[in-house]
Amino acid sequence: MGSFMIVEIEDKLVSSELFSKQFVCNLSACKGACCVEGDTGAPLERDEIKLIEKSLDKIKPYMTAAGIEAVDEAGVSYLDPYKAPVTMLVEGKECAFVFKDEQGITKCAIEKAYRQGDIPFNKPVSCHLYPIRVTKRKNFESLNYDRWEICKDACTLGEELKVPVYRFLKEPIERAYGKTFYAELDKVAQELQKQEPSEKKENKSSAKTSEDKRKK
């Protein structure tokens, strides 16, 4: 795929990097570092805060003692420097809702409770959608690909498996925006793929012309 573009789908502005970049989480390599690293907690919707608070007793069995202490003392969320709600942290470091499994991989207690059938909702949408970052404006939302050094192994695995970002994130995209929106993403991806051969042909032709000029 050629240069960076913005594609408009419904009221969403979608970066073409969601189609051109490849990504598959490699937890065995990164150990779930995205749940620990970073300056703030994970972005939360207002309704997510209410859901977590309502189901906290069912989530706590999967949390660490430190995480439970943090939410008991300060709540499940706080406001970041931009006055946006994010998940509570433990001593300003890892998310209060993380735990480590038998392999030492950091995972989400909210997602664990959901997978076990204890609660009816999954982890925060912002976590589920990563590495897509959503910026909400008054009349539209923008969906962009977020680069983070700790995810380099996910990029490598994605390239090996040839899985574009949007396809890897099918489940959370459909969760956030619906199946129709994902189907539109898929159509755009197919159209962009059709354009690739012609772009390569044009680039090859331009290179040949330049070479011919040099020979003359």
Structure tokens at 105: 């991989």
pLDDT in the model for residue 209: 46
pLDDT in the model for residue 197: 60
Does 115 lie in the same domain as 64? Answer: yes
Domain boundary (130, 165, 189) is at: 130
pLDDT in the model for residue 60: 98
pLDDT in the model for residue 138: 86
Does 49 lie in the same domain as 102? Answer: yes
Does 36 lie in the same domain as 18? Answer: no
Answer yes or no: is 154 within a domain: yes
pTM: 0.86
pLDDT in the model for residue 207: 44
Answer yes or no: is 58 within a domain: yes
Rounded-to-integer distance, Cα 78 and Cα 86, Å: 6
Does 35 lie in the same domain as 19? Answer: no
Answer yes or no: is 16 within a domain: yes
Range of the domain at 207: 7-23+139-211
pLDDT in the model for residue 212: 52
Does 147 lie in the same domain as 105? Answer: no
Domain boundary (130, 147, 180) is at: 130
Tally of structural domains, the chain = 2
Does 148 lie in the same domain as 119? Answer: no
Q: What is the pLDDT along the chain (216 residues), one digit of tens a residue?
A: 446 799 999 999 999 999 999 999 999 999 999 988 888 999 999 999 999 999 999 999 999 999 999 999 999 999 999 999 999 999 999 999 999 999 999 999 999 999 999 999 999 999 999 999 999 988 999 999 999 999 999 999 999 999 999 999 999 999 999 999 999 999 999 999 888 765 554 544 444 444 554 544
pLDDT in the model for residue 153: 96
Does 161 lie in the same domain as 147? Answer: yes
Answer yes or no: is 44 within a domain: yes
Angle between helices 170-177 and 179-215 (to 10 degrees): 120
Q: Give 8-50 as a DSSP string.
A: EETTEEEETHHHHSB----HHHHTTGGGT-SSS--B--HHHHH
Does 185 lie in the same domain as 155? Answer: yes
Does 16 lie in the same domain as 33? Answer: no
For 189, list phi and psi in degrees, rounded to 5. Answer: -60, -40
Does 148 lie in the same domain as 94? Answer: no
Answer yes or no: is 176 within a domain: yes
Answer yes or no: is 122 within a domain: yes
Rounded-to-integer distance, Cα 13 and Cα 141, Å: 6
Does 123 lie in the same domain as 32? Answer: yes
Three-state SS for 135? strand
Q: Are 128 and 34 in contact (CB under 8 A)?
A: no
Domain boundary (130, 147, 169) is at: 130
Does 183 lie in the same domain as 112? Answer: no
pLDDT in the model for residue 1: 44
Answer yes or no: is 84 within a domain: yes
Query: Which H/E stretch holds residue 178?
Result: none
Answer yes or no: is 216 within a domain: no
pLDDT in the model for residue 128: 97
